[in-house]
Structure 1
Amino acid sequence: MTRQSRFAPLAAALALFVLQAPAAEKMKPAAAPASDAKRIESAMTAAPAKVAHDATIVAIDDKGAMRTLREGHNGFTCMPDNPTTPGPDPMCLDSAAMDWAKAWMGKQAPPTGKIGLMYMLSGGTDASNTDPYATAPTQANHWVETGPHVMIVGADQSFYAMYPHEASPDTAMPYVMWAGTPYQHLMVPVK
């Protein structure tokens, strides 16, 4: 099985995750396709330099297909900023977080016993804090704006119970996003 076909389900999942954008008036104008060197440079801003240096770098095209730009060897996969979303959103995920993302997008139960880490150190896209599948803000879905952060996914309920999990959180402090759903995860802001 090729790398591209192995990642095909995840490509669609991560494309939706990265593409979650609010109203069109907040979206960036469409940009010309970046060179692979620029995509790699963007993807490497998602994680600490030591992680990004040895990570696999992938790009997702407008059809959701994933293409490897650079092979890595540390278990992390980084993606560049999506120019169609309102803020910088390159991300870098370890293999457990990739499995969690696949489960989320497939509306499957997330794997148990596999805690994953995602970096979004350049910022993040606005998203619903209560609805894992919301694609636009409504009065009921508690839309939040995030800055640079890391996410911890796949932990036990007891771990998340230690952190605030209000529908309208203080995003300057760690909080649980999508609390009470199988896809709850800890958002940890970083500066």
Structure 2
Amino acid sequence: MSRSIVALAALAAAISAYAAAAATADNATAADQKLIKSAMQAAPAKVSANATIVEMGKDGMRTVRAGSNGFTCMADNPVTPGPDPMCMDAAAMEWANAWVGHKEPAAGKIGFMYMLAGGTDASNTDPYADKPSANNHWVKTGSHVMIVGADPAFYDMYPKAADPDTSVPYVMWPGTPYQHLMIPVK
């Protein structure tokens, strides 16, 4: 009987979280609904449905919809030439904040990120490049997931080419504090 009560309590909590997310989405402006829809494309529906949705702006990050599962999803960046919404767990969010802040990511915090809508062009060698140049090895990736924050030795078993084959796992930004494993998915 106690298992039934625990199961019912868990179900009630899940329904409550879903209802809160749905109510937030229903009360959102048309612009926020567009951001939510874009951000939710980054991860499987079972992840994005209960993820926090944020928008990155010139004044920092704004929460568009609060979530309950520890994942944070960001909408497509309209400045980039193609789709690039992403969704990440808490450790990956810390890693991303370190990268954006030009700080060293915390050691020993492995994170996971989804970019199931793909990624737009980016330099494979310079974490801060904002446009292609003769030396920054611009690449375009399709649907992929990423592992960030692993020990440097973890990345040693994967290709670190400046111009990688993006159809197989490879290391992006090798040799920098922000190196991470890119894993294509279909």
TM-score normalized with structure 2 length: 0.80
Deviation at 1:146, TM superposition (A): 1.0
| In 2: Cα distance, 1:54 partner to 1:87 partner | 25
Task: Give the deviation of 1:44 after TM superposition.
Answer: 0.5
**How many residues align structurally?**
158
| Aligned-residue identity in percent | 70
Of the three residues 2, 26, 47, the one matched with 1:51 is: 47
Equivalent residues in 2 for 1:163-178, closer than 5 Å: 163-178=158-173
Larger Rg: 2
Amino acid corresponding to residue 184 of structure 1 in structure 2: Q
Q: Which residue of structure 2 aligns with residue 123 of structure 1?
A: 118
Q: In structure 1, what is the Cα distance between the partners aligned to 2:103 and 2:79?
A: 27
Cα distance in 2, alignment partners of residues 42 and 153 from structure 1: 23
* Structure 2: unaligned runs, 5 residues or longer: 1-28
Residues in 2 aligned to 1:142 and 1:45: alpha-carbon distance in whole angstroms: 27
Could you say if the C-alpha distance between residues 155 and 128 of structure 1 is closer, same or farther in structure 2, counting changes exceeding 3 Å? same
* Higher relative helix content: 2
Structure 1 residues 167 and 34 mapped into 2: Cα distance closer, same or farther (>3 Å)?
farther
Structure 2 residue identity aligned to 1:125: T
- Select 1:89's aligned residue among 84, 88, 96: 84
Question: CA distance change for structure 1 residues 34 and 189 in 2, over 3 Å: closer, same or farther?
Answer: farther
Q: Tell me how far 1:101 sits from its aligned partner.
A: 1.3
The residue that corresponds to 2:32 in the other structure is 36
Letter in 1 for 2:87: C
**1:46 is matched by which residue type in structure 2?**
A
Q: 2:147 aligns with which of 129, 152, 175?
A: 152
Residue 142 in 1 paired to residue 137 in 2?
A: yes
1:113 matches 2:108: yes
Distance 1:85 1:130 in 2: 18
* 4+ residue runs over 4 A deviation: none
By how many angstroms is 1:159 displaced? Answer: 1.0
Q: Which amino acid aligns with 1:35?
A: A
1:162 to 157, 164, 168: 157
2:120 aligned counterpart, secondary structure: coil
* 1:78 counterpart residue number: 73
Q: CA deviation at 1:84?
A: 2.3
